[in-house]
A and B are shown apart, each in its own frame.
Chain A
Amino acid sequence: MAVVTSELVLEALQNRFGSALLTVDYPYGMLTLEVTPEAIPEILRFLYDDEILRFRFLTDLCGIHYPHQEGKELGVVYHVHSLENNVRIRLKAFVPETNPELPTATTVFRSANWQERETFDFYGIRFTGHPDLRRILNMDEMSYHPLLKQYPLEDSTRTDKDDKYFGR
């Protein structure tokens, strides 16, 4: 019974999903794969069902915005963890700003539900197949997605703080 390591996981993924894996990296020891967005649910389902790999815990799901990467501005980063084997890997999928759509991971992990809603709220990334995609932390009436890099941190309509003195 081979000990499951990141290399073993990479091998299994390359055998099954060779074309969907775009880049492979090991920043600070964690296997990080950039994959095509359409392959995300299949990869997660494969990692979940495989009896040896057993990645049954979705640690984290968040969004990220790189405004200068043409055609791949918005990204979603998944961290999955195999508790029995104590292996963590990171998956990234990038979508263009003009059409930020990605299939949902809620078919595999229930915990992705609210995390995808949060990512939609902050970045405007739409998850197709999500049961209830709407804003979660911000007000429903909010007209923009605040964590995108082009929007400022402060509320521009506030009256009591003078930007001149606050160095902004």
Chain B
Amino acid sequence: MTEQPSQLTMVGAPDGHEGQGFFATSLEKVIGLARANSIWPLPFATSCCGIEFMATMGANYDLARFGSERLSFSPRQADLLMVMGTIAKKMGPVVRQVYLQMAEPRWVIAVGACASSGGIFDTYSVLQGIDKVVPVDVYVPGCPPRPEQIIHGITQIQELIKNESLRRRHTPEYKALLASYGIE
């Protein structure tokens, strides 16, 4: 805590044309930048990872400084579905319904070993990973993952959002992905 950081790097501006009082870049990059730095997450916290998420939102690790200040518990107003904790087979349809209620563009992050692959619960009642019911963008391993890891997951999502093409949601590959989950 007492040593000065040797090099401080600010978030770089995207490629573009700079001039006196203006900066020109492509629309995609501007929208990507805006979306990435103002994610409204939906914390779908089911078990222990939820408590680690509460610690991440707390003052010590502070997820809000990355733009996720406003947690939304309504899927209609959320961008990022954060599934934290074990999803049992009984809960699978609920996750799917919440995912369907979100509007495009939407991203999904599976926090914790249980959400990624069933975790230590290889049993008859646990869904072995939420990617069996919804398409997932980022997986954060850990049981539970440390808050730093959860923040790393969020920054990975931010990278994805920044570099996402505006046409992505209309491409045939994306439609095929959703169709493979039975979502049209």
B and A form one assembly: yes
Docked complex Cα distance between A42 and B131 (Å): 52
Interface of chain A residues 60 through 118 with chain B (CB within 8 A):
none
Interface of chain B residues 106 through 139 with chain A (CB within 8 A):
117, 122-125, 128-129
SS of A interface (majority): loop
Contacts of B89 in A (CB 8 A): 139
Docked complex Cα distance between A19 and B139 (Å): 62
B123 touches A139 (CB 8 A): no
Docked complex Cα distance between A151 and B125 (Å): 13
B122 touches A138 (CB 8 A): no
Q: Which of B89, B117, B124, B125 has the most CB of A within 10 A?
A: B124
Q: How far is the CB of B128 from chain A (nearest CB, A)?
A: 5
Bin the interface of chain B by size.
under 10
Interface of chain A residues 144 through 168 with chain B (CB within 8 A):
146, 151-155, 158, 160-161, 166
Contacts of A146 in B (CB 8 A): 124-125
A138 touches B128 (CB 8 A): no
Q: How far is the CB of A143 from chain B (nearest CB, A)?
A: 11
Contacts of B117 in A (CB 8 A): 160
B17 interface hit (Cβ, 8 Å): no
SS of B interface (majority): loop
Residue of chain A at shortest CB distance from B117: A160
Could you write out 25 A-B pairs with CB less than 8 Å apart? A137-B125, A138-B90, A138-B125, A139-B89, A139-B90, A139-B125, A146-B125, A152-B124, A153-B122, A153-B123, A153-B124, A154-B123, A154-B124, A155-B123, A155-B124, A155-B125, A155-B128, A158-B122, A158-B128, A160-B117, A160-B128, A160-B129, A161-B122, A161-B128, A166-B122
Docked complex Cα distance between A137 and B128 (Å): 18
Q: How far is the CB of B91 from chain A (nearest CB, A)?
A: 10
Contacts of B123 in A (CB 8 A): 153-155
Given contacts A158-B128, A160-B129, 19 further A-B contacts (CB under 8 A): A138-B90, A138-B125, A139-B89, A139-B90, A139-B125, A151-B124, A152-B124, A153-B124, A154-B122, A154-B123, A154-B124, A155-B123, A155-B124, A155-B128, A158-B122, A160-B128, A161-B122, A161-B128, A166-B122
**Please, what's the 1-or-0 string for B81-121, where 1 marks a CB less than 8 Å from any CB in chain A?**
00000000110000000000000000000000000010000
Q: How far is the CB of B150 from chain A (nearest CB, A)?
A: 24
Contacts of A154 in B (CB 8 A): 122-124
Q: How far is the CB of A154 from chain B (nearest CB, A)?
A: 5
Docked complex Cα distance between A155 and B124 (Å): 4
Interface of chain A residues 112 through 138 with chain B (CB within 8 A):
137-138
Residue of chain B at shortest CB distance from A157: B124
Docked complex Cα distance between A9 and B72 (Å): 57
Docked complex Cα distance between A59 and B117 (Å): 36
Closest 6 CB pairs between A and B?
A155-B124, A139-B90, A158-B128, A154-B122, A146-B124, A153-B123
Residue of chain B at shortest CB distance from A161: B122
